[in-house]
Amino acid sequence: MKKSIKIMLAGLLAVPVLALGISLSAPIVQTASAQSIVDGANAAKGNGQATSLFESGGVFQTITNTALYLIGAISVLMLIYGGIRYTTSMGDAKDVESAKNTIMYAIIGVVVALLAFAIVNFVLTSLVAK
C-alpha cells in the first residue's frame, strides 16, 4: 500500500516537470509584428543584438536571469517533493527528518535564487546608469 501511494504521488509530481519541459521546448510564435527574411538575416549578422556584455538586457543579464529562473523552479519542485515525502512518511522518524531537511533546503534555495536575482539586476543597473 505504501509503495503504491509513493508511485502515484511520483506520477503527480512528474506532471509539472513534463509541463515545464514542454513549455521550454515549444516554439515561440510571434503575432505582434510581421517578420521577414531581411529581419532574420539582420539578426544572424548580430544587428539588434546586445552589443555589450553587461548592458541592461545584455548577454550576462540574460544568462544569469535564465539560470536563476531554473534554480528557483527546481527549488519549488523540491519543496513540493519534500511535502509529499513528509505526507507519506507515516510517522517514521527517519523519513520525517529527511523530508523536513528537503523542505528546509528547498526554501533556502528559493531565498538564495531571489536574492541572487535582485543583487545581479541591482548591480547591472547601477553599472549601466553610470
Size of the chain in residues: 130
Contact residues for 12 (Cβ-Cβ < 8 A; gap 6+): 84
- Chain position carrying cell 519541459: 21
- Residue range 22-46: mean pLDDT, rounded: 61
CB of 127 closer than 8 Å to CB of 54: yes
Task: Look at the pTM and tell me if it is higher than 0.85.
Answer: no
- pLDDT at residue 63, rounded to an integer: 83
Instruction: State the Cα–Cα distance between residues 84 and 87, nearest whole angstrom.
Output: 5
The C-alpha cell that represents 122 in the structure block: 541591482
The C-alpha cell that represents 83 in the structure block: 511535502
Asked if the model's pLDDT at residue 82 lies above 50, the reply is yes
pLDDT band for 27, please (50, 70, 90 cuts).
low
Handedness of CA 28, 70, 77, 14 (dihedral sign): positive
